[in-house]
Amino acid sequence: MEVVEFRTVEQDLGGRTIPAIVPHLSGVPLPELLRRIELPSARRDGQPELAGGYAGLATGSVRWPARHYLGRPVLSAFGDGDTVLLGCGCGDWGCWPFSARVTVADDTVTWSGYRNGHRDWDYRDLWDLTFDRTGYEEAVRATAR
């Protein structure tokens, strides 16, 4: 199973700094992981600079006690139950969102069905990620601090 942390970082958005939550998978920031996965598709589109160009989500709406990361999304790019995991590097989550379906089961939480808001990029190299529910919920609760 995968290990996730939801780290609060200070994010510079064009001269203003805000606290934002960035998921880390086994210590790797999700935008960095996505850059590696998106780069071939972005190169084919002639825009390699777009790969991994995401920012964390402002803490105000998604940190605990919000259930955003637990299958009750506060931010949904497609309105079909998807959960926005990262927003655009400009600071507007809806401008260039990265989302997944978050499925909560008795013992696990799974991310699947990855999409971004503007490109039909190939996310096959980002397999369904399954987390131990207890550890995952502890990581979500840590966002309250």
Query: Could you tell me the pLDDT band of residue 132, with boundaries at 50, 70 and 90?
Result: very high
0.75 exceeded by the pTM?
A: yes
Mean pLDDT within 81-110: 93
pLDDT, position 131: 97
pLDDT, position 41: 93
Q: What percent of the chain has pLDDT over 70?
A: 100
Give whole-number Cα distances, 59 to 18, 38, 41, 108, in Å.
8, 26, 30, 24
pLDDT, position 19: 92
Mean pLDDT within 99-109: 97
Number of domains in the chain: 1
**Residue 27: domain span:** 4-144
d(CA 114, CA 98): 7
Provide the mean pLDDT of the chain: 92
CB neighbours (10 Å) of residue 137? Answer: 16
